[in-house]
Amino acid sequence: MSQHSCMSQDNEQAKSAEERAWELVSQMSLAEKIGQMTQVNGGSHELHQAIREGLVGSVLNEVNVEEVNELQRVAMLESRLGIPLLIGRDVIHGFKTIFPIPLGQAASWDIDAVERGAAIAAAEAASSGINWTFAPMIDITRDPRWGRIAESLGEDPYLCGVLGAAMVRGFQGDRLSNRESIAACAKHFAGYGAVEGGLDYNTANIPENELRNVYLRPFKDALDAGVATFMSSFSDLNGVPAAGNGFLFKEVLREEWDFNGFVVSDWDAIRELTVHGFTANDRDAVREAVNAGIDMEMASGLYREYLPELIAQDYVDEQQIDNMVCHILKLKFQLGLFDNPYTDPGRFPRCVNEEHLQAARAAAMRSCVLLKNDQATLPLSKEQLDSVAVIGPLADDGYEQLGTWVFDGESHHSHTCLQAIHELVGEDLEVRWARGMETSRCRNHDGFHEAVQIAEESDVVLMFMGEESILSGEAHCRAEIDLPGNQEQLIDAIAATGTPVVLVIMAGRPLTLQNVADKVSALLYAWHPGTMGGPAIADLLFGIESPSGKLPVTFPRLVGQIPIYYSRKNTGRPASHDSITHIDDIDGKAAQTSLGMSAFHLDAGFTPLFPFGYGLSYARFEYRDIETSATHIALGDNIDITATLHNTGDCTAEEIVQLYVRDLVGDVTRPVKELKGFRRIRLKPGESKRVSFNLHTDELAFYNRKMSLVTEPGLFHAWIGGSSETELGTEFEIVASPQVAD
C-alpha cells in the first residue's frame, strides 16, 4: 500500500476516533479527565485502585502480559467509563531481538532495514501488551561525549529525518489498530542533543534559525510520517526548559505544524521545571507545563495533585484540558483499544524467532563501517590462514554487545563474535582465544601475557575492543572518548608482536582513535551490534559479504575538536591543507601572523579522523561524470543530478551513493555541504551504473532571518560520492523567473 493511501485511511480512522473521543470527554468528571493525563510507573500496590477510580490514563514499564491484561481488565470493567490504558515502554532498538543501537542502524543508511527493525520490535513488544513505544529518538547531536548519541540517528537532519520516519512507519505499521502495531513517540522535543559540553540534562542554547534548520527538521519528518505522540526534552532551551516551552509545543507543533496527536512529558520533567529555576514550586510547574501544551505527565503524579485547584482558580482553562484529554483518547480509539485492549501472546509471532534473528543479523551487517583496510588485510581467507587469535573483552560477551536501552533484551539470545567465528571456520582454522582484559575499563595487565602469547603464535589477530554498554546511553557521558582502561596498552602490546591486527570496535559513540588507528592493519566499527552481532561481524571479517555502512556522524581526532561536523559554516577564514601549521613545526619566536590565520587547531588541524558519510568496502567504487539535467532551473522546478558509479574491485558489494549540495549565498549563511539524498546500490565487479537524484527546489529551502522557509535563487554546488568529502562536483543556478532558457 502506498504511503499516501495509508495516510488517508488513517485520517478517516482519526476522524471517527476524534468524534468518539469527544463523546467520551463530555461524560467525564474533572478527576477522570486529569486521570487520562496521568502516566504512572507500573508495579505499585495502589495502581489497581487508582485505575479503578479512573485516575490513570497510561502505565509505563509493565511488561508482564498477564499483569498488563489484568490492568486493562480493571480499567475496562471496573472503572466508571471503561477507558483502556496506554501501556508505554522504551522499545528503542528491539524488544527481545535486539537490533544495533540506533546510531549503528543509522550507519546502515538502509531505510527498509530500519523500518523492518522497528516493525519487528513493535510486534514483539505488542505480544507483551505494550501499545506505545518512546521511540524514535531523533535528537540531532554533534557531540560524541553525550551518552545519548548512541540512541540517536547521528548528526545530520536529512539522514535522521528519513530514518526516523522509517522507524515511525515500522512501529505504527499501515494502521495503528493492527495487532502488531504500536504507537511511536518522537523525542525529545527539542534541542536535547545540543546540551553544552555533551553533558546529559545540561542547557541547550540554539538560535531559532538553527533550531529550525537543523534540530526541528527530523521532528517534522516524523510528524509527516504520522507519528502519534511527541515527548518533551529534559533540557533548558534558550532559557525555557522544554517541559514548559509554549513556543515549542503550542506555536511550532500545534499551530505551525498542525499536530493532532498528543505530547507526553519526559520522566519527572515537570517537577524538574522548579529545579531548573523556571518555576517556584510544583504547582507553578504544572501550570506552566499544561499551558505550554504538555498533554500527559510522566511519573510524578503532579497533574493529579495540582490541576484541580489550578482549574478552579482559572489559571488553567478547562476547555484546554478537554482538548488535551481528547488528544489522548483519540489515540486509544485509533489503536483499537476500546474494542479489544487484551493481548493473547499466542496470536503473535514468537519473540526471537529465526526470521527476526536474520533481520537483526542483516541490520548488524549493514551497520558496520570499515574505517581502515591496509593491504587488503580483510577479508580473511580461511584457505590462506592456519590460525587466528581472538582477543578482547568484547569478543565473547553476549550482554555488552547489546548496547544501551535494552530493558527487555536477554543476553542468552546473543550470538557472540567468538562463537560465530568458531562456527564459520569450523575445523579449517585454529582459533585461539584470550580475553586480555576483564572489562573494557580494566586497569591491570593480568591478561596481557596470555593475549600476547596467542598473538605471537597466530597468523592474524582479531581484537574486539571498545566500550561496555553502560558507558553510553542516558546519563552516561564521557569527557574523554578514547578507548577506556588499558585497551590502548593492550593494542600496543599485541601490535608489537608484528602479527597483523584487525581491530573491531563495539561502542555506543564515536571514539577518538587517532592513537590506535595507525597501529592496526584494519579497523571495523561495529557500534553495539545487538543480538546477532557475532555472525554479522564474522561474515564481514571472512568476506561472506562486504562492509557497506557509512558513518552517520563525524569522528574527531581529539575531543577538543568537538563540535566537529561536516555541514559546518565556511567562516570568513576557512583553513586549507596549505594554510595550517602543526604545533610541533612552529619556529621559535614565530611572529604573531606567521601561521596562516585560518580556522584550525594547532594540535589537530581542521579535518576529522573520519568524515561523515565515510566507509570502505572490499570492492573499489569509483565515481565519475557528474552532470545536471539543466544549468538553470526556476523556483518550483526539479533538477536531476547524475553520476556514474563503477565497481572496479573484484567482489560484489553495496555502496551508499550520497548527494550533497551547497547554497553559495544565503540570507543566513548556509553550510558548506548538506546531504540531500542517498541510495544503496549493489554492483558486481566491473559493473557500473548511472545514479540519479531528483531534487525539487523546495528541498533547498531554509529558514531565513525572518524565520520564513524560503528557497533563494542563486548559485548552488552539488556533489555525488561515497562520503561528505567527495570532490566530484558540478553546479546549477536557480532563477526567480519561471521562463528559463537553458
- Cβ at position 92, least distance to ligand BGC in Å: 8
Catalytic site includes residue 667? no
- Block residue for cell numbers 554533534: 142
739 vs 732: CA distance, rounded Å: 16
Residue 630 grid coordinates = 539543466
**Inter-CA distances, 673 with 260, 573, 669, 678, 727, Å:** 34, 17, 12, 14, 11
For ligand BGC, the closer CB: 115 or 474: 474
For ligand BGC, the closer CB: 474 or 539: 474
47 vs 43: CA distance, rounded Å: 7
659 vs 113: CA distance, rounded Å: 21
Contact 133, 88 (CB under 8 A): yes
649 vs 547: CA distance, rounded Å: 14
From the list 227, 254, 238, 255, the residue with the least C-alpha distance to 190 is 238
91 vs 619: CA distance, rounded Å: 36
Peptide bond into 552 cis (omega under 30): no
For ligand BGC, the closer CB: 62 or 396: 62
Residue numbers of the site for ligand BGC (CB under 6 A)? 90, 134, 187, 266-267, 474
Q: What are phi and psi of 56, to 5 degrees?
A: -135, 130
721 vs 488: CA distance, rounded Å: 33
DSSP annotation of 255 reads: I
For ligand BGC, the closer CB: 134 or 555: 134
Contact 22, 3 (CB under 8 A): no
For ligand BGC, the closer CB: 172 or 486: 172
For ligand BGC, the closer CB: 89 or 361: 89
Residue number of the CB closest to ligand BGC reads 134
For ligand BGC, the closer CB: 187 or 372: 187
- Cβ at position 193, least distance to ligand BGC in Å: 12
Contacts 24+ apart (CB under 8 A), 5-13: 6/174, 6/175, 6/226, 7/226, 9/174, 9/175, 10/175, 10/176, 10/226, 10/334, 13/175, 13/176, 13/177, 13/334
- Cβ at position 217, least distance to ligand BGC in Å: 20
- Cβ at position 267, least distance to ligand BGC in Å: 4
Reduced to 3 states, what is the DSSP secondary structure of residue 27? coil
Q: Is 255 exposed, middle or buried (0-12, 13-18, 19+ CB in 10 A)?
A: exposed
For ligand BGC, the closer CB: 135 or 461: 135
- Cβ at position 134, least distance to ligand BGC in Å: 3
- Cβ at position 55, least distance to ligand BGC in Å: 20
Q: What are phi and psi of 248, to 5 degrees?
A: -65, -50
For ligand BGC, the closer CB: 157 or 473: 473
Contact 380, 542 (CB under 8 A): yes
Residue of 90, 110, 139, 266 marked active site: 266
Contact 223, 259 (CB under 8 A): yes
Instruction: Give the 3-state DSSP-derived string for 595-647, with helices as H, strands as E and coil as C.
Output: CCCCCCECCCECCCCECCCCCECCCCEEEEEEEECCCEEECCCEEEEEEEEEE
Active site residues: 266
